[in-house]
A and B are shown apart, each in its own frame.
Chain A
Amino acid sequence: MNRKFTRREFGMMAGAGVAASTLAAPAIGQAKPKLVVVGGGPGGATVARYVAKDSKGAIDVTLIEANARHTTCFFSNLYIGGLRSFDSITHGYDKLKSDYGINVVQAFAIGVDAARRTVTVAGGETFSYDKLVVAPGIDFEYDAYEGYSKEVAETFPHAWQAGPQSQILRRQLEAMEDGGVFLIAPPPNPFRCPPGPYERISLVAQYLKQNKPRSKIIAVDAKDKFSKQALFQEGWARHYEGMIEWLPLNITGGVKKVDVRGKTLHTGGESFKGDVINIIPPQRAGAIALAAGLANESGWCPIDPFTMASTRVPHAYVIGDSSIAAQMPKSGFSANSQAKACAMAIRAALTGSRAFEPRYSNTCWSLIANGDGVKVGASYQATKEKIASTDTFISKTGEDAATRTATAEEAEGWYAGIVADIFG
């Protein structure tokens, strides 16, 4: 029986499990090694759960999360389009506490002292760690467009962090008159969920077609092409003929200026007026990742592809959207996948447990209409340079309705499965 992989590049990880002397020394006076995780989204909650579950109590796990409940970005377009309730995409941390013994702290982390190995939260409390995982998701470049700001995002929501922002957008769509214009500005690369803006366009189109059929959608994109483009454009022509106008960067030059009172987005040339305006701004790693010195000049955090360990700050790991996972897209699926490889590496480092070759994968489903689903996915491998894609698949244009219905149903099943895998 041949193992498909060798221990070539992976020797350092295996080695970590062998000699007790290489284990991180627990902070003085502590019986158990401590893991602190910042951020309870798909990345952070998964890594906390897997370390707690697989170390069987040998590692003390604290999860610091700003909110009492987490609304998943994935499936938030279904909420915005009226296919799902807000409650059905919102999840608490009770099982992580009761079933896995995780110390869940509701607080906002504001700083990391890498020398002392402590995390400070707003209010001043500190938490010491042997290993730290930072998984805060994204933050926005609010100064990207003239006239745009965090405050303006309350009027022209991004809805790119699910929660109150998604609710604002939903309410605005409900209040919009028939014949109105939904104006959306998708961001430049790299950003969270590459097919996300186009799924949003699709599901808003479906809502408008059913409820306000004279309305229009205009997309002023910051890119010339996008994920699953052929599939989306085929679907838009089939389901929403004449309703959607997608304008690539090379036509408009992209958004330059935001006029709140005039409800207008100005580009280099033409200006666009909207009744509901959804600006999805350029992005970078979550603020705490920058504050902790984990990000490089790109605004994202470089990592060791084998373990997700930061290449900049010792004893820290970065997973999910904040990390530079090279060819892996910024998705909830990717964050969950990275979390499991990271959890294994952390256990090996703290308790000497066996470390296997990390496995990474991703699948992103998108709904083009209710019951018309498409997907794209890949396997990835850690190499010295990066997490590299090895094998991919994608839905095809011209697929029959039965296949698309089955794909949409898979997405439902996946949602239930991954939520259980993240939150217990």
Chain B
Amino acid sequence: MGYRGSRAALVLVAGLLAGSLSCGHASADELYELGEYLSGDCTACHQLEGRAPGIPPITGWPVEAFVMVMVAYKEGERDHALMQNVARRLSDEDMKALAVFFEKQGQ
């Protein structure tokens, strides 16, 4: 979780989070619902409870940190062909929805 994002990632994350507060595009509940659906794409590998070698746990992270890591994979700034592929299929809103959902898990 000690990942420090690039400038590009930081700017994107800041924009994302600000956007959600001001424009009211999707309500918190709607975001959570989208995140819950999309999380099925992650739980083939990442467990909601329990741990296993080889796949890091992703629950309980602050939203910003989570989005930053996903953006870093998507932009190719963090290396890992598999997770880059995962991140490339997610829109900005998808990533935020996932962050909102996973933050609430495993607590």
Kindly state whether residue B81 has any CB partner on chain A within 8 Å. yes
When A409-B54, A410-B55 are in contact, do A333 and B89 touch as well, CB less than 8 Å?
no
Give per-residue flags for B67-107: 1 if the beta carbon is below 8 A from chain A beta carbons, else 0.
00000000000000110111011011110000000000000
In the assembled complex, 23 residue pairs joining A and B whose CB atoms fall closer than 8 Å, in A order, are A2-B91, A333-B44, A336-B44, A356-B34, A356-B38, A359-B40, A359-B89, A363-B82, A379-B88, A379-B89, A391-B89, A393-B81, A393-B82, A409-B53, A410-B45, A410-B54, A410-B55, A410-B82, A412-B52, A416-B52, A417-B44, A420-B48, A421-B44
Size bin of chain A's contact surface: 35 or more
Verify A2–B88 contact, CB threshold 8 A.
no
When A354-B33, A377-B82, A409-B53 are in contact, do A391 and B88 touch as well, CB less than 8 Å?
yes
We find that the number of chain B residues with CB closer than 8 angstroms to chain A is 35
With both chains docked as a complex, state the minimum distance between the C-beta of B97 and any C-beta of chain A, in angstroms: 10
Verify A420–B50 contact, CB threshold 8 A.
yes
Name the CB-closest residue of A to B56: A413
Contacting residues, chain A, for B47 (C-beta < 8 A): 416-417, 420
Give per-residue flags for B34-46: 1 if the beta carbon is below 8 A from chain A beta carbons, else 0.
1011101101111
Verify A378–B85 contact, CB threshold 8 A.
yes
Kindly state whether residue A406 has any CB partner on chain B within 8 Å. yes
Contacting residues, chain B, for A340 (C-beta < 8 A): 37, 40-41
Kindly state whether residue A88 has any CB partner on chain B within 8 Å. no
Contact of B37 among A344, A409, A416 (CB under 8 A): A344
Kindly state whether residue B19 has any CB partner on chain A within 8 Å. yes
Kindly state whether residue B25 has any CB partner on chain A within 8 Å. yes
Name the CB-closest residue of B to A363: B82
With both chains docked as a complex, state the minimum distance between the C-beta of A339 and any C-beta of chain B, in angstroms: 9
Identify the A interface with B (CB < 8 A): 1-5, 50, 54, 333, 336-337, 340, 344, 354, 356, 359, 361, 363, 375, 377-379, 390-393, 406, 408-418, 420-421
- Max chain A Cβ within 10 angstroms of own Cβ: one of B23, B25, B46, B54: B54
Knowing that A379-B85, A412-B52 are A-B contacts, what are 17 other residue pairs whose CB atoms are under 8 Å apart, sorted by A's residue number? A3-B91, A3-B93, A54-B36, A354-B33, A356-B37, A359-B40, A359-B89, A363-B45, A377-B82, A377-B85, A393-B82, A410-B55, A410-B82, A411-B54, A416-B50, A420-B43, A420-B48
Alpha-carbon gap, A344 to B33, bound state (A): 12
Contacting residues, chain A, for B49 (C-beta < 8 A): 420
Contacting residues, chain B, for A377 (C-beta < 8 A): 82, 85
Kindly state whether residue B65 has any CB partner on chain A within 8 Å. no
Contact of B82 among A1, A54, A375, A417 (CB under 8 A): A375
Alpha-carbon gap, A344 to B23, bound state (A): 28
Task: Please list the 6 inter-chain residue pairs (A to B) with the smallest Cβ-Cβ separation, ordered nearest first.
Answer: A413-B54, A413-B55, A4-B91, A409-B54, A416-B52, A340-B40
Kindly state whether residue B10 has any CB partner on chain A within 8 Å. no
Contacting residues, chain B, for A393 (C-beta < 8 A): 81-82, 84-85
Verify A2–B41 contact, CB threshold 8 A.
no
Verify B16–A1 contact, CB threshold 8 A.
yes
Alpha-carbon gap, A155 to B92, bound state (A): 55
Verify B45–A417 contact, CB threshold 8 A.
yes
Verify A414–B54 contact, CB threshold 8 A.
yes
Alpha-carbon gap, A363 to B48, bound state (A): 19
Verify B52–A417 contact, CB threshold 8 A.
yes
Alpha-carbon gap, A410 to B44, bound state (A): 12
Contact of A1 among B23, B33, B43, B45 (CB under 8 A): B23
With both chains docked as a complex, state the minimum distance between the C-beta of A359 and any C-beta of chain B, in angstroms: 5
Contacting residues, chain B, for A359 (C-beta < 8 A): 38, 40-41, 89
Alpha-carbon gap, A9 to B93, bound state (A): 20
Alpha-carbon gap, A379 to B25, bound state (A): 27
Verify A417–B46 contact, CB threshold 8 A.
yes
Contact of B44 among A354, A375, A411, A414 (CB under 8 A): A414
Contact of A4 among B19, B55, B85, B94 (CB under 8 A): B94
Contacting residues, chain B, for A337 (C-beta < 8 A): 40-41, 44
With both chains docked as a complex, state the minimum distance between the C-beta of B37 and any C-beta of chain A, in angstroms: 5
Name the CB-closest residue of B to A339: B40
